[in-house]
A and B are shown apart, each in its own frame.
Chain A
């Protein structure tokens, strides 16, 4: 889930966030329970059709599928080497179906709607002392964090490259870690400034 909402007015965009999230959870569970590559292949085709229905721009689809394919190929190779060819097909198809569906979900769902849906669903937990708005916010921040961490990673890689240290894991990992911790610290302070730490 890369947090990239793609504005649109397709039926998938108009569908409420709660049922969409439930459908995603059911699909993610199903792909891990199904043992037939044919069924999994069918789900992948259905997800691709979902991209068509949502009219997600071709360039974005291409970018996502390229990254997904690379990841799936690595997983496929490792599974084939360590387990078997059948297992490699199963695991790779499961990952492709689940991740492509999650990406489609973020493309057609505003994070604000997702947060509201989770808050509504978590409403009954209030009687156990949990605060649904915190749970919703956590979901929203998780999605947002992907974009924020990608920006930090790109800047750190660029800085390492400028110093001719792009192949040094330490030159990338240390500043990334430091900036990530600082970002978390600053985000916490910003949330406090916006009254998020206050009890209602």
Chain B
């Protein structure tokens, strides 16, 4: 379970988050809000990429600030721009890179990577230059690179922003089928159909926290 207790954050004088209290045991949770509402900062705190200026965060009882390594083993993070997430030149190597510290042998890592790529419709792309893949394929690759370590939680920060409609659907379908707890930061309200809970943020504060229909009604009122 993910917990935020009195979490606040500032960038210089600018307050980004202010007194956020949340307990998130649900399988599918979304953070929505306008640009600058603090939703990405809140999501980044889950695996310790951003440290809170006030309050504390817990992931299954662990503190991402003090136990970053243990938390990051449990929490995978998919960024908006897959180009910035690709670390190795070919798709297979990039997925296998995530398993560097898994203790698996090199052939086993390559086989596991190829297996997962195939599962995500990227079979035959293991030796393909990762930067030459289409936008949708790159985002699926980024997802594979995270899922190969079998995290308990997957945080996705606006993962469909750069995708066209078809790739957005493909990505959403993949996300829907995952057994992991998923925390999705998004502007794309179409993705939230099957979600258990939607948290709406505005200027660093939680202004709605409900089932998708009710929370999104409040969000629509907020943005006019």
| Chain A residues proximal to chain B, CB less than 8 Å | 3-5, 7, 110-112, 116, 133, 140-141, 143-144, 147-148, 151, 183, 186-187, 189-195, 198-200
Contact = CB atoms under 8 A, between A and B. Distances in A.
A141 B87 contact: yes
Interface in B76-95: 76-77, 79, 81, 83-90, 93
A195 B151 CA distance: 12
Contacts of B24: none
Contacts of A133: 100
Contacts, number: 82
Contact of A144 (B69, B86, B98, B110): B86
Contacts of B23: none
Contacts of A141: 87
14 contacts: A5-B129, A110-B93, A112-B110, A140-B97, A141-B87, A144-B88, A151-B131, A183-B83, A186-B79, A186-B81, A187-B84, A193-B76, A195-B69, A198-B69
Candidate in A112, A147, A151 with the most chain B CB atoms within 10 angstroms: A112
A32 to B, nearest CB: 27
Contacts of B220: none
B101 A200 contact: yes
Interface residues of A, dominant DSSP? helix
Interface in B121-137: 127, 129-131
Contact of A151 (B47, B83, B106): B83
Given A147-B129, A148-B83, A192 B100 contact: no
Nearest to A189: B49
Q: How many of chain B's residues touch chain A, expressed as a range?
A: 20 to 34
Interface of B: 47, 49, 68-69, 72-73, 76-77, 79, 81, 83-90, 93, 96-98, 100-101, 106, 110, 127, 129-131, 145-146
B85 A140 contact: no
B87 to A, nearest CB: 6
A151 B129 CA distance: 12
B127 A193 contact: no
B118 to A, nearest CB: 16
Given A7-B127, A110-B90, A112-B93, 6 more contacts: A5-B129, A112-B97, A112-B106, A144-B87, A190-B79, A194-B97
